Structure 1
Amino acid sequence: MSNLDQQLANLKVIPVIALNKVEHALPLAKALMENGMPCAEITFRTEAAIGAIKAMRAAYPEMLIGAGTILTPAQVDQAIDAGVDFIVSPGLNPTTVKYCQSKNMPIVPGVNNPSLVEQAMELGLKTVKFFPAGPSGGVGMLKALTAVYPVKFMPTGGVSLSNIDDYLEIPAVLACGGTWMVPTQLIDNEQWEELGALVKDAVAKVN
């Protein structure tokens, strides 16, 4: 098992975060760290992503930080420069995967069917994201895939406090990505105590 795989397996849940303001990065990271979730996947869907990652990395060097929604090699470079530990993409783009491999940067690309899992394996990948998990058949589909393929999965998309245990019970699932404990509305409104409580509940659920 790779170092990243081990870290994901230890954490069990990865918060997938869309930040609209860079200045929210540090209070958010503080809420995550203090409530037992020393990790973050910052999506590149907002302009604040790069600045947020840089701020988090400087303040919390021990934090596991990923860049999500990475679509191009140029974004890979931006994420690496910002200080990420791993890359996550919504789909399986061989160009992006190979570029990450050339930079020795772990990437967890999204797949949701047998053909994509086989393409990922052909690229030498052993860990993939099952995305979007809910719309793609959820636990049933994932059990079917794990029965056939010797890869690890990180289900994301439709995972919640009510169903995360169902995913984590599958032996091939390392961790789940989720947004429910880091809702954008709470971040935008700077409701850090409320967010911290959601994070604490998520950590308690998986431990």
Structure 2
Amino acid sequence: MTSPSAAASASVLDLAPVVPVVVVEDVADAVPLARALVAGGLPAIEVTLRTPAALDAIRAIAAQVPDAVVGAGTVISATNVADSVDAGARFLVSPGWTDTLLAAMKASGVPFLPGVSTTSEVVALIERGVHEMKFFPAEAAGGTAYLKSLGGPLPQARFCPTGGIGLASAPSYLALKNVGCVGGSWMLPADAVAAKDWGRIEALAREAAALR
């Protein structure tokens, strides 16, 4: 596993086998939650831009959890890109992409994973010099069978499948040659977050980190 301190030059896909996909409702939860994930062996943390607290959560984690590699997810506009990097995001993840969004992510200076769900989207990104992508929504878009099929004609593409993946299904994704890591939120059960049970989250993170 790549050291978090080397993240600026490393692939997001190689930081850990699992990237937690985090929805932060209360910014006060951001730092203890991130510390629990890092302690459990999951340093790359995707904070989705789905709540008003998201950018402040990224800012807090970036400032107070130095061993975390915090990124922004659900990035869908050039404004999202700029705001996320300004908050301290060290990588960007989008559910899909357009040329405008891709240009903004390329110009951001941080690693990024544009989202794809079709072969044509993968080919289009390869044409544009991008070889690392998010496969979303993984289970709904064909799962491991689809990704395995892509490996033959498009071996230069590597993926972080996300969407509907849990502890039981993650190993089958991680066994594929074209999968670097998976994204998921199963180590962040809502009741544990609500109870601020960071010990339970750390234990679940450790279980996920041991998948590879």
User: What TM-score do the two structures reach when normalised by structure 2?
Assistant: 0.91
Aligned to 1:23: 28
TM-superposed deviation, 1:81: 0.5
Asked whether 1:153 is paired with 2:159, we answer yes
- 1:179 equivalenced with 2:177 (yes/no): no
1:185 Cα deviation from its structure 2 partner = 3.5
In structure 2, what is the equivalent of residue 192 of structure 1? 198
Letter in 2 for 1:171: K
Contact 2:119 2:150 in 1 (8 A): yes
Q: CA 1:10–1:51 in structure 2 vs 1: closer, same or farther (change >3 Å)?
A: closer
Hey, what does 1:130 align to over in structure 2? 135
Instruction: Output one character per residue of 1:137-188: Cα deviation in whole Å (capped at 9) or x when no partner.
Output: 1000011112111111111011111011111111111110011011333223
Supply the distance in 2 between the matched residues of 1:97 and 1:116 (Cα, whole angstroms).
12
Match of 1:109 in 2: 114
**CA displacement at 1:61 relative to structure 2:** 2.5
Q: Distance in 1 between matches of 2:115 and 2:180?
A: 14
2:48 and 2:72 in contact (8 A); partners too: yes
Query: 1:69 matched to which residue of 2?
Result: 74
1:76-127 per-residue CA deviation (whole Å, 9 max, x = no partner) reads: 1110001111110001222111112123232201111111101111221110
Query: Alignment partner of 1:4: what SS?
Result: coil
What is the CA–CA distance in structure 2 between the aligned matches of 1:49 and 1:10, rounded to whole Å? 22
Cα separation, 2, equivalents of 1:66 and 1:53: 7
Residues 116 and 136, structure 2, Cα contact 8 Å, conserved in 1:
yes
Distance 1:58 1:131, change over 3 A: same
Count of residues paired in the alignment: 204
Residues 67 and 79 in structure 1, CA contact (< 8 A), matched pair in contact too: yes
* Aligned 8 A contact 2:40 2:204 in 1: no
CA contact (8 A) 1:20 1:188 kept: no
Q: Which of 96, 105, 114 is the aligned partner of 2:101? A: 96
Per the normalisation by structure 1, the TM-score is 0.93
- For the aligned residues, what is the CA RMSD? 1.5
Alpha-carbon deviation of 1:12?
A: 1.1
CA distance in 2 between partners of 1:102 and 1:10 (Å): 22
Tell me how far 1:130 sits from its aligned partner: 0.7
Instruction: Measure, in 2, the Cα distance between the counterparts of 1:147 and 1:9.
Output: 21
Structure 2: where are the runs of 5+ without partners? 1-7
Paired residue type of 1:31:
A
Moved more, 102-111 or 137-146: 102-111
Q: Percent identity?
A: 37
| In structure 2, distance between residues paired with 1:130 and 1:186 | 27
Whether the 8 Å CA contact 1:32–1:196 is kept in 2: the answer is yes
